[in-house]
Amino acid sequence: MFPWGRRKVLLLNATFEPLTALSLRRAVVLVVCGKAEVVHGDPAGLVLHSSTSEVLVPSVIRLSTYVRVPYRGRVPLTRAGLMHRDRYRCAYCGGRAETIDHVVPRSRGGPHTWTNCVACCAKCNHRKADKLLSELGWRLRVVPAAPRGPHWRLLAGVAEADPQWLPYLGEPAA
């Protein structure tokens, strides 16, 4: 059985500007209906077959016509976005992050903002509780800040970005 729901495809505007990551099923529908074209196919060369046609499994597709993108306001603070920003690493020990911690606890007036929230492992989160870093003698490994870059939101919802996406996202190849 082919994993339709898990596989993501990068959707580009007609100007090659990244718009979003969408499901493989939706990408194939756009290609078959002529609303998009395949820019990069699956690295393994997979092909979907129907009774009358074949479609290369896409990794990156581009819309045939330009779509105007509305102005995007403030960046919302989400768990997925925060974990992506901190690369799923604990801000205190560097271990695998599982939870979110407020640097200045909310019980002490700390705000729920990008600059006060960090990814944290369960052990450090439990040890810190509602204490300040100065009370524990702890330091942050990285100073938290709102994420930058036009495409961070796109990647926050994707577990692993296909290496073929990187030239369009303005990120260096790994």
Highest-confidence range of 37-51, 70-84, 94-108, 143-157, by mean pLDDT?
Answer: 94-108
pLDDT, residue 122, reads 96
Distance CA(25)–CA(77), nearest Å, equals: 29
Is the pTM of the predicted complex or chain greater than 0.75? no
Could you tell me the domains of the chain? 8-71+150-169 (no CATH), 79-136 (1.10.30.50)
The DSSP element (H or E) to which 82 belongs, if any, is helix 79-85
Of 127 and 164, which is predicted with more confidence?
A: 127
Of 60 and 147, which is predicted with more confidence?
A: 60
- Do residues 15 and 69 make contact, with C-beta atoms less than 8 angstroms apart? no
Please, which pLDDT band fits residue 17 given cuts at 50, 70 and 90?
confident
pLDDT tens track for 47-73: 888 888 888 889 899 999 999 877 666
Highest-confidence range of 4-18, 64-78, 81-95, 96-110, by mean pLDDT?
Answer: 96-110
pLDDT tens track for 18-37: 888 888 889 999 999 999 99
Of 66 and 161, which is predicted with more confidence?
A: 66
